[in-house]
Amino acid sequence: MKQSFLFANLIFILYLFTSCGSSKTIAGDATSHVTPIICAEEYSQKYNMQLDFMKHHFSGLLIVRKLPDNEIRILASTYFGLSLFDFSLRENEFQVNSCIEPMKKKKMLLLLETDFKNLFLSGKNIRIKKKSGTFEKRVTGRGFGRTVFYLSEFNSGHPEQIKIKHPWLRLSIQLDKLKENPN
């Protein structure tokens, strides 16, 4: 009886210490406004793009350019020249200039809008999970809206490879920066 009483008291004390603790922010796991993953420039930036949705695979080029009126133009096309989508992005505005029919669904466009805003504008509510000199993992959202950004192969502070994964939707986008021609 005495042992069970001591055991019950020990459990109660442990419960008291763990349940009444204040929340702590672990270094590297804070939610904050972070810098854009890709800084859009006045010249065209080109990326190899691979988009996988369930069993469907698209590959092509993603071309990004910042226009003089602070508009970011995002164009994706296949290697054969078929335009997949053409978006215009500003701080509070997302405009669909053109888009192929399978991607013209409202939820798909909303998902791409949030992904591109997190890529090219200052991300809000992004948690940096892991960070080192060669790798960074950023997470935003919860549940079906959860997005994970994997940044790697850094060159002068900018990632050369970006993977965007939506685990619940089985959607992933991979961007590999193309080298600029010296011409």
**Residue 52 burial (CB count, 10 A):** 15
The pLDDT value recorded for residue 74 is: 94
Please tell me the distance from the alpha carbon of residue 49 to that of residue 59, in angstroms, as a whole number: 5
**Residue 85 burial (CB count, 10 A):** 19
- Name the pLDDT band for 17 (thresholds 50, 70, 90): very low
Please tell me the distance from the alpha carbon of residue 145 to that of residue 163, in angstroms, as a whole number: 16
Across 29-37, average pLDDT:
61
Domain ranges of the chain: 28-177
Find all residues with CB under 8 Å of 95, minimum gap 6, and list them: 87, 88, 89
The pLDDT value recorded for residue 6 is: 57
Whether the full predicted model's pTM is greater than 0.85, yes or no, is no
The pLDDT value recorded for residue 141 is: 76
The H-or-E segment that residue 149 falls in is: strand 147-155
Does 2.50.20 match the CATH number of domain 28-177? Answer: yes
The pLDDT value recorded for residue 14 is: 46
Q: Choose from 82-96, 110-124, 137-151 the range with maximum mean pLDDT.
A: 82-96
